[in-house]
Amino acid sequence: MFSVRTGLLAALSLALCSALALAEPVKVGFVATLSGPSAPLGVHMRNGFQLAVKELGGQLGGQPTEVIVVDDELKPDVAVSKVKGLLDRDKVDVIAGVVFSNVMMAISKPVFENETVLISGNAGPSPLAGKGCSPYFFAASYQNDQVHEIMGKYAQDQGFKRVVLMTPNYQAGKDAMAGFKRHFKGEVAEEILTPLGQLDFSAEIAKIQAANPDALFTFMPGGMGVNLVKQYAQAGLTTKIPFLSSFTIDETTLPATQEASIGMLSGANWAPNIDTPENKAFVAAFEKEYGIVPSLYAAQGYDAAKMIDGALKATGGKVSDKAAFRKALASAPFKSVRGDFSIGKNGFPLQDFYVVKPVKRADGKYETVTVSKVFDNMTDAYAAECPLK
Amino acid sequence: MSTVLLVSQLLNGLQLGLVLFLVAAGLTLVFGVMDFINLAHGVQYMLGAYLVAMCVGFTGHFGLGLLLGLIGALVLGIVLEWLVFRHLTRRDHLEQVLGTFGVILVVTEGVRMIFGTAPLAMPMPVALSGSVTLFPGLNYPVWRLVIIAVGLAVAGLLWFLVHRTRLGMLVRAGSTHPGIVSALGVNIDRLFLFVFAFGAMLAGLAGAMAGPLVSVEPTMGDNVLIIAFVVVVIGGIGSIKGAFVGALAVGLVDTLGRAFAVDLLRLVMDRSAAATAGPALSSMLIYVLMALVLGLRPSGLFGPKKA
């Protein structure tokens, strides 16, 4: 009796094993910030990715797909240990996601050393775009500087002569100022650096009011941006000193700022109103599935999944042939919700960038709409330094 | 530096100080009267903001929503006292810290599960959402003036309660001589419950007042809690007057530091060095203030002189 049962079990497990081996399922390790004040960004990006996988019938490239989602907690050390687990224990074929650049920098080394493909759903730090570019890195998003450059170019085109810059006091904040100044040739009246996580901007707003510039440029991600937008509007400055921003006004913060954000501007590579059939279908499906308006993070997550899907279709569903998989990814074999989209030699996309503004829709929800296109099919500033062919 | 800028920064400092006072008043009472370290006080601030935002959303009326939200904050304070804090008051400080830290984790995660991680919108009356011209050249947001008015009113009310009523007398006595108060036949548990629930409601009020200015999200109480502890330590543990003076001092020092540190440093160093050193200096000013006060008066400005 005992031996019969053991034999059955053994046969069953053998059959299971071989069935799994035949199907060659695709395993994607998805890294996102899902806890803490910045969690909405990670939630949007993950939802976008999972929506695409769901629409493709739980498959990428025609292969059954398992997506293992991990929370990086916005801590580089936590991210590294979880990513090592994904690589060593789960043996994932692709790592995707990542909202923040410091997390991306921390995990890039172990992922590249493991010769695994890394697809960014948001973070685009400059070291990975220039000299430190890698054949294993692809971005479905943008290079960080580009979004700040949009606003610098816009300010220059509008003929603004004097601006005040305000960002949090950390590396990304200083990068934002540098990105803005790349295309803005006027005078920077003041550069204000605020502590990370600042709640009350009254002192800074009074300073801006006193400096009376032609415009304000700010980069205040997450909750800080919500605080600033509300307080700037309450001070009645929106109509007096144009509010130009990056990563401050999008569909992750609009539910909180609502009316206060009207009249302010932001830079983006995507907005819900971009007129492609893919985008219309994506926005409708996302709202139906999650009940919220998608943000650019959601769109990028969605595109990241479609990018993997397209590349796997090109290689006949095989994930084991990494060279062919990388070559396929580099050709960006999918239709982006953003329309024009190709991959440059450093793995970063060439795409269009827009100035966007928030509007209230007929159903009472808020979303961004494009105001004007600032850059057409733009390459990032670091691509030339990348030694890859 | 113009007079207009100085006046507007002083108002900003006053307003920040009064929000801090609302948080710190409850904290200092609980800390002083019950010798109880309540790390979960920041959570009550957050709950106040959520409750009021929710009630205003439901009722569509700001005043009514505020009232309902504050009653909700009071009830939640009583529930928390009954469920958790009552069992910790006679334990040592380490256990209180652990227990109340647990409350932070549970409540924060609970709020996240119910409302999601995305920040919530706080509806406010249109009449209070703009700015007014105080005098030529100075536009000031109406809501910040409302906060100043409410903060001063609560301070006056607290002064009256603590110094002119029998209950206040017991609270004052309890903060310095809890054993004697208990021996004289006062139900110290009921006193604790009252003080605790009242403190929770004040924290909720602070959250509701701050809601239209800041992002209403699950972790909004964490930063405020740290600054509120600084206020309590500067003012002296258990002293409402100390909390008031300490809160205004912290609010003004922080605001004026952020406003003028860079400009002042430019007088003695070059522009780029000042731009780097200014923000660093201004963000530690309140801790420098705390260190100075503790150096001169180890029990805070108005703290009890412990023998």
Question: Please, where in chain A does CATH 3.40.50.2300 lie?
Answer: 20-142+274-351, 145-268
Closest CB to B129: pick one of A40, A222, A234: A234
Q: What is the pLDDT of residues A286-324, one digit of tens each?
A: 999 999 999 999 999 999 999 999 999 999 888 888 899
Q: pLDDT value at position B307?
A: 38
B228-232: long-range contacts (C-beta < 8 A, 24 or more apart)? B228/B20, B228/B23, B228/B24, B228/B27, B228/B41, B228/B42, B229/B27, B230/B286, B230/B287, B230/B290, B231/B20, B231/B21, B231/B23, B231/B24, B231/B28, B232/B24, B232/B27, B232/B28, B232/B31, B232/B300
Residues of B in contact with A34 (CB under 8 A): 117
Tell me the per-residue pLDDT of A324-383, one tens digit each, with 9 for 90 and over: 999 999 999 999 999 989 999 999 999 999 999 999 999 999 999 999 999 999 999 999
What pLDDT score was predicted for residue A18?
Answer: 45
Let me know: does A281 contact A92? Beta carbons within 8 Å: no
CA distance B170 to chain A (A): 36
pLDDT value, residue B173: 82
pLDDT tens readout for residues A126-176: 999 999 999 999 999 999 999 999 999 999 999 999 999 999 988 888 889
* Contact list, B15 vs chain A (CB under 8 Å): 202
Query: Does A196 touch chain B if contact means CB atoms closer than 8 Å?
Result: no
Q: Domain spanning A20-142+274-351 has what CATH number? A: 3.40.50.2300
* pLDDT the model gives residue B274: 82
What is the CATH architecture assignment of A145-268? 3-Layer(aba) Sandwich (3.40)
pLDDT > 70 in chain A, percent: 94
Local confidence band at A185 (pLDDT 50, 70, 90 cut-offs): very high
B117 and A230: CB-CB below 8 Å?
no
The C-alpha of B5 sits at a distance from chain A's nearest C-alpha, in angstroms, of 7
| Mean pLDDT of successive 10-residue stretches along chain B, which has 307 residues | 83 94 91 85 94 91 92 93 88 91 93 87 82 82 93 94 88 78 82 87 93 88 91 90 94 91 85 81 91 92 69
> Over chain B, what is the mean pLDDT?
88
Mean pLDDT of chain A: 91
d(CA B96, CA B85): 8
Q: Is the per-residue pLDDT at A7 higher than 70? A: no
Q: Is the pLDDT of residue A259 over 60?
A: yes
